[in-house]
Amino acid sequence: MEDTHEGPANATEYIVHHLTNLHLGEGFWNLHLDSIFYAVTLGILFAGSFWFAARRATAGVPGRWQNFVELMVEFVDTQVKDSFHGSSKLIAPLALTIFCWIFLMNFMDLVPVDLLPEIGVAMGIEYMKVVPTTDLNITFGMSISVFLLMIFYSIKIKGVGGFAKELFFHPFGKWMLPFNFLLKLVEEIAKPVSLALRLFGNLYAGELIFILIALFTLSAGGHTLTETLLNVASPDTIAYLIIQVILGLIWALFHILIITLQAFIFMMLTIVYLSMAHEEH
Amino acid sequence: MSINVTLFVQMLVFALLVWFTMTYIWPVIRQAMDEREQQIADGLAAADKGRSDLESAEAEAQTIIAAARDQARDILNKASSRATGIVDEARSQGEDEKRKRLESAQQEIDVEVNRARDELRHQVATIAVAGAEKVLAREIDAEAHRELLDRLAAEL
């Protein structure tokens, strides 16, 4: 444990360290404490701040924060009304939660990669992944929840018989029953899998690139920020730092687009999948 | 990187968040927005109504003013004709009075003239009688010749 305080010895160790979750338990009972901690914290931040606006919401002149919350609600409501033709009390709040929560979790990617882990190390926490959406469990947790809702609504709207009929007799009629089922199975399974993997892939790659950019500091001679600052006099260090700052800035600016887009895509596809579940074929 | 219990914890957290949003955030915000929408719609309708009310009130005011103007003109006309009437009446009364006065004065003059003439006649008769007395040198019995003298006075 002592040596981790001195920072990683080489690039590989640094990267692996950054990609390891703080966990509790083994095997299936392995709980990623860092992912859950940040997911819950950001979830509470979202719910709390929006609840704050909702509690003081007035029909009169809205304040700044209420205005922003209403903007988000209106934005999500428009998307839902455009894609989903039915009445459901669940889908719009679901979409709002998905968009805001995923955006906040993605946003952790823009926090400097070493900032929170270093604070964690200072507090005696060895490993820490700060972006919950770079954890497959988190993305699959959400996409499987959406998948269960899809099945629930399919059965609720079409009945068990209707749902079974859709599973077995489409698109090729009753004589191709096993093939139909296989096709439908692939089609349905692909939805949560692609939903989760798309978000995970984008964010994982983004995080990895931030880690690679951060390697410049390591190359500059310091294993930690403090050491780098002590070595700041050397021209090499200065050059590396400038390169890192420029690359980091470019990637962060680009990443603002990605995190918003990924949150939006997850929300939109959820709405679309649920509206498909509501439709009779 | 493996699938483990984290996934189920995340599903639970997700479900709780969605439930919270669905119960305490979405309906409240939506209701506030709908209410405001209603208020704005009401306000616009009220503004429209106010504008049309104003227009109709202005039109009404115009008709009232026109009526008042007509009435005023009527009153003025009546007053001026009345004034003319009064002046005319006064003038004709004046004329009448003048004529009456003239007539009564004329009558008085006539009466006075007649009286004077009568008196003159009497005096002439008397003078004539006296003259005749003198001429005839004898006294005429006034009583006996009254009829003669009266006839003479009437002829004069």
Q: Does A26 touch chain B (CB under 8 A)?
A: no
Average pLDDT value for residue range A48-61: 89
Q: Residues A114-121: what's their mean pLDDT?
A: 84
Q: In the predicted model, is pLDDT for residue A46 greater than 90?
A: yes
Among A85-89, A118-122, B52-56, top mean pLDDT goes to B52-56
What domain count does chain A have? 1
Over residues A211-236, mean pLDDT = 70
- State the best of A38, A94, A143, A204 to mutate against chain B, taking most chain B CBs within 10 Å: A94
pLDDT category, A227, cuts 50, 70, 90?
Answer: low
Q: Is the pLDDT at A142 greater than 80, yes or no?
A: yes
Q: Are A25 and B5 in contact (CB under 8 A)?
A: yes
Are the CB atoms for B24 and A54 separated by under 8 Å? Answer: yes
Of B14, B31, B35, the CB nearest to A142: B14
Interface test with B, best of A129, A145, A203 (most B CBs within 10 A): A145
Question: Residues A85-94: what's their mean pLDDT?
Answer: 87
Name chain A contacts of B39, Cβ cutoff 8 Å. 59-60
Q: Active-site residue numbers of A?
A: 194, 198, 202
- Percent of chain A predicted with pLDDT > 90: 44
Chain-wide mean pLDDT for chain B?
A: 89
> Tell me, what's the pLDDT at A7?
52
| Contact status, residue A274 vs residue A91, Cβ threshold 8 Å | yes
Q: Report d(CA A213, CA A203) in Å as an integer.
A: 15
> Is the CB of residue A62 less than 8 Å from the CB of residue A70?
yes
Stated pTM of the model: 0.74
Helices A33-55, B5-20: crossing angle, 10 deg rounding: 0
pLDDT for position A6: 47
Looking at A62-71, B12-21, B36-45, B125-134, which range is the least confident one?
B125-134
A234 or B17: which leads in pLDDT: B17
Mean pLDDT of A226-253: 79
Chain B residues with CB under 8 Å of a chain A CB are 1-11, 13-15, 17-18, 20-22, 24-26, 28-33, 35-36, 38-39
Express as a percent the part of chain B with pLDDT over 90: 69
Interface predicted TM-score (ipTM) of this complex, two decimals: 0.86
Is A69's Cβ below 8 Å from some Cβ in B?
Answer: yes
Q: How many CB pairs under 8 A join A and B?
A: 126
Q: How confident is the model at residue A86 (pLDDT cuts 50, 70, 90)?
A: confident
Nearest to B28 among A43, A54, A89 (CB): A54
CA dihedral (A212, A213, A217, A221) positive or negative: positive
If one counts every other C-beta atom within 10 angstroms of the C-beta of residue A56, the result is: 13
Indicate the residue of A40, A53, A94 with minimum beta-carbon distance to B13: A40
- Which range marks the domain in which residue A158 is found? 2-278
A229: confidence class by pLDDT, cuts 50, 70, 90:
low
Q: What is the pLDDT of residue A261?
A: 95
- For B22, the closest chain A residue by CA position comes to A93
Q: Which residues of A touch B1 (CB under 8 A)?
A: 19, 136
The chain-wide mean pLDDT, for chain A, equals: 86
pLDDT of residue A5: 42
The pLDDT-based confidence of A12 (bands split at 50, 70, 90) is confident
A92 CB near a chain B CB, below 8 Å?
A: yes
- What is residue A264's predicted lDDT score, i.e. its pLDDT? 96
Cβ atoms of A105 and A34 within 8 Å: the answer is: no
Task: Give A164 to chain B, closest Cα distance, Å.
Answer: 26
Q: Tens digit of pLDDT for each residue in B38-95?
A: 999 999 999 999 999 999 999 999 999 999 999 999 999 999 999 999 999 999 999 9
C-alpha–C-alpha distance, residues A44 and B21, integer Å:
11
The CA-to-CA distance between both ends of chain A, in Å, stands at: 60
C-alpha A114/C-alpha A15 separation (Å) is 11
Nearest CB to B5; choose among A31, A90, A101:
A31
Query: For residue A46, what is the enclosing H or E element?
Result: helix A33-55
Percent of chain B with pLDDT over 70: 96
For A:160-199, CB contacts with B below 8 A are none
Minimum-distance CB partner of B25 among A31, A43, A51: A51
Distance from CA of A171 to the nearest CA of B (A): 32
Asked if the model's pLDDT at residue A10 lies above 90, the reply is no
Smallest CA–CA distance, residue A119 to chain B, in Å, is 23
Q: Which residue has the higher pLDDT, A249 or A2?
A: A249
Helix (H) or strand (E) holding A23, with range, is strand A23-24
